[in-house]
Structure 1
Amino acid sequence: MKEMILPEFNSNDEREAIITGKAAKNALLAILILTPIALATMALMLTFEGKFPIMLTILTAASIPITGLITYYFSYRHHYLQ
């Protein structure tokens, strides 16, 4: 069960290096896709000025690295369990 949640890292394992590379690639791809969407959303929020525009802008900017971390985690688990 431990391997499903947090697999042990072994720097000498070639399979694990490949899995880490695939997971990092997927995380970078998610960040590259989300960044223009988040920037457009932030511009629209600041343009139309809702009740809390600055707070929503900060939350939108914070969602970019969080999405990368979540994508990395699920991608790593997916490739590790195959």
Structure 2
Amino acid sequence: MDEPSTGLAPLFIKEIFNIIEEINERGTTILLVEQNANSALGISDRGYVIETGSIVAEGTGEELLGSDEVQMAYLGG
């Protein structure tokens, strides 16, 4: 999925991410490209942070959300 939350109101974004989670819980693997990093990493088993075409960080969604470097550089932390 490419940027499923782009241009949506916050209420719809929450619903979209709930649907994505439900699809994944039913056994479908999802490749998600999303700039809403907090929401995407919050539901991700694995994540990659890409900057100018190169992977600059990777790990579980939880690891990336908890990373001080990722927080400061990409999540407004």
Same fold (TM over 0.5): no
Higher helix residue share = 1
Structure having greater relative contact order (Cα 8 Å, sep ≥ 6): 1
Higher strand residue share = 2
TM-score (norm 2): 0.28
